[in-house]
Amino acid sequence: MSAATARRPLPAEALLGVDQVGLEARAAMLASRSIKREAKLFALDLAIRCTDLTSLEGADTPGRVATLCTKAMHPAPLDPTIPPVAAVCVYPALAAVARDHLRCSPVRVAAVATGFPGGQAPFEGRLAEARAAAAVADEIDMVIDRGAFLAGRYGQVADEIAAVKAAVGGRHLKVILETGELGGYDNVRRASWLAMAAGADFIKTSTGKIQPAATLPVAVVMMEAIRDFAWATGRIIGLKPAGGIRTARQAITYLVAVNEVLGDDWLTPERFRLGASSLLNDVLMQIAKEHSGGYQSPDDFSDA
Amino acid sequence: MTALAVAKTAKLYLGGAFVRSESGRVYRTEVAANIPRASRKDLREAVRAARAAQPGWARRAAYNRGQVLYRVAEMLEGRRREFVAVLGGGRGAGREVDAGLEALVYFAGAADKLSQLSGSVNDVAGPYFNFTVPEPVGVVALVAGERPALLGLVVPLAAALCGGNCVVALVAETAPLPGLLLGEVLATGDIPPGVVALLSGLRSELLPWVGSHRDLDAVDAVGCTPEQLTALEERAADSVMRVLPPGAAGAALRLSPQLAVRTLEMKTIWHPVGT
pLDDT in tens, B73-92: 999 999 999 999 999 999 99
* Residue of chain B whose Cα is closest to the Cα of A295: B213
Average pLDDT over residues B149-166: 96
Indicate the SS3 state at residue B110.
helix
B contacts of A297 (beta carbons < 8 Å): 214-215, 239
Q: What is the mean pLDDT of residues B32-43?
A: 96
Q: Which pLDDT band holds residue B128 (cuts at 50, 70, 90)?
A: confident
3 state SS of B103: helix
Are the C-beta atoms of A89 and A118 separated by less than 8 Å? no
Which of residues 221 through 250 in chain B touch A, CB cutoff 8 A? 235, 238-239
Separation in Å, CA of A35 to nearest CA in chain B: 15
One-letter amino acid at A133 equals A
pLDDT band at A8 (very low <50, low <70, confident <90, very high): low
Domain count, chain A: 1
Instruction: Say yes or no for a CB contact (<8 Å) between B239 and A295.
Output: no
Closest among B155, B165, B151, B150 to B196, alpha carbons compared: B165
Q: Residue A295 and residue B235: Cβ atoms within 8 Å?
A: no
Q: What is the rounded average pLDDT for all residues in chain B? A: 94
A299 within domain boundaries:
no
Alpha helices in A54-184 (DSSP H): 62-73, 92-101, 123-134, 146-150, 154-167
Is B81 touching A (CB cutoff 8 A)?
no
Beta-carbon-side half-sphere exposure of residue B108 (alpha carbons within 13 Å)? 16
Task: State whether A295 and B215 contact (CB < 8 Å).
Answer: yes
Contact B214 A293 (CB under 8 A): no
**pLDDT of residue A5 exceeding 50:** no
Residue of B nearest to A298 (CA): B215
Confidence of residue B254 (pLDDT cuts 50, 70, 90): confident
Strand order in the sheet with B264-272: B120-121, B128-136, B264-272
Closest Cα to residue A220, out of A9, A50, A19? A19
Residue of A231, A241, A271, A229 lying closest to A6 (CA atoms): A229
Asked whether residue A46 is assigned to any structural domain, the reply reads yes
Q: Is residue A302 part of a domain?
A: no
* CA proximity to A150, closest of A177, A125, A175: A177
Q: Using one digit for the tens of pLDDT, what is the confidence trace for B39-77?
A: 999 999 999 999 999 999 999 999 999 999 999 999 999
d(CA A187, CA B245): 62
Residue B251 is predicted with a pLDDT of 53
In the predicted structure, residue A105 carries a pLDDT above the cut 80: yes
Would you place residue A16 in the very low, low, confident or very high pLDDT band (cuts 50, 70, 90)? confident
User: Which pLDDT band holds residue A28 (cuts at 50, 70, 90)?
Assistant: very high
Distance CA A258, CA B10 (A): 40
Q: Do B213 and A295 touch (CB under 8 A)?
A: yes
Write down the pLDDT at residue B274: 58
Q: With contacts defined as CB-CB under 8 Å, which chain B residues touch A299?
A: 215
Chain A residues near residue B212 by CB distance under 8 angstroms: 292-295
With an 8 Å Cβ cutoff, are A297 and B212 in contact? Answer: no
The residue among B137, B206, B215 with the most chain A CBs within 10 A of its CB, best to mutate, is B215
Partner residue opposite A297 with nearest CB, options B40, B215, B235 = B215
Dist. CA A170–CA A148, nearest whole Å: 26
Of B209, B214, B235, the CB nearest to A300: B214
Q: What is the arithmetic mean of pLDDT over A256-280?
A: 96
pLDDT at position A240 is 97
Q: At residue A2, does pLDDT exceed 70? A: no
CB pairs under 8 A between A and B: 25
Looking at the domain assignment, is residue A48 inside a domain?
yes
Mean pLDDT across A94-98: 97
pLDDT, residue A10, reads 65
pLDDT bucket at A1, cuts 50 / 70 / 90: very low
What pLDDT is recorded for position B252?
A: 56
Q: What's at B162, amino acid-wise?
A: C
Owning domain of residue A197:
3-294
Going by pLDDT thresholds of 50, 70 and 90, the confidence category of residue B253 is low
Asked whether the beta carbons of residue A295 and residue B212 sit closer than 8 angstroms, the reply is yes
Question: What is the mean predicted confidence (pLDDT) over A233-257?
Answer: 96
Q: Please report residues of A whose CB lies closer than 8 A to that of B44.
A: 295
Give strand pairing partners of B135: B265
State which amino acid sits at residue A8.
Answer: R
Taken in order of first residue, the domains within chain B and their CATH numbers are 12-19+34-272 (3.40.605.10)
| pLDDT given for residue A3 in this prediction | 43
Q: Are A223 and A261 in contact (CB under 8 A)?
A: yes
Rounded mean pLDDT of A192-204?
A: 96
- pLDDT reading at A120 higher than 60: yes
What is the 3 state secondary structure string of B9-50? CCCEEECCEEECCCCCCEECCCCCCCEECCCHHHHHHHHHHH
Tell me: pLDDT of A184 over 90. yes
Instruction: Single out the residue of B255, B263, B220 nearest to residue B105, CA to CA.
Output: B255
pLDDT of B204: 96
Residues of A annotated as catalytic (active site), given as ranges: 141, 204, 240
CATH code of the domain covering residue A17: 3.20.20.70
pLDDT at B250 over 70: no
The reported pLDDT for the residue numbered B149 is 92
Split at pLDDT 50, 70, 90, the class of A12 is confident
Run of H or E including B196: strand B196-199
Q: What's the mean pLDDT in B144-156? A: 93
Work out the minimum CA distance from B132 to partner chain A, whole angstroms: 25
pLDDT above 70 covers what percent of chain B?
A: 97
B214 touching chain A per CB within 8 A: yes
pLDDT mean over B253-274 = 89
ipTM of the complex: 0.86
State how far the Cα of A148 lies from the Cα of A150, in Å rounded to an integer: 6
> Measuring CA to CA, which residue among B140, B145, B151, B178 is closest to residue B57?
B140
Candidate from A292, A293, A298 with C-beta closest to B215: A298
Chain B residue numbers with beta carbons less than 8 Å from the beta carbon of A296 are 214-215
Q: pLDDT band for position A6 (50/70/90)?
A: very low
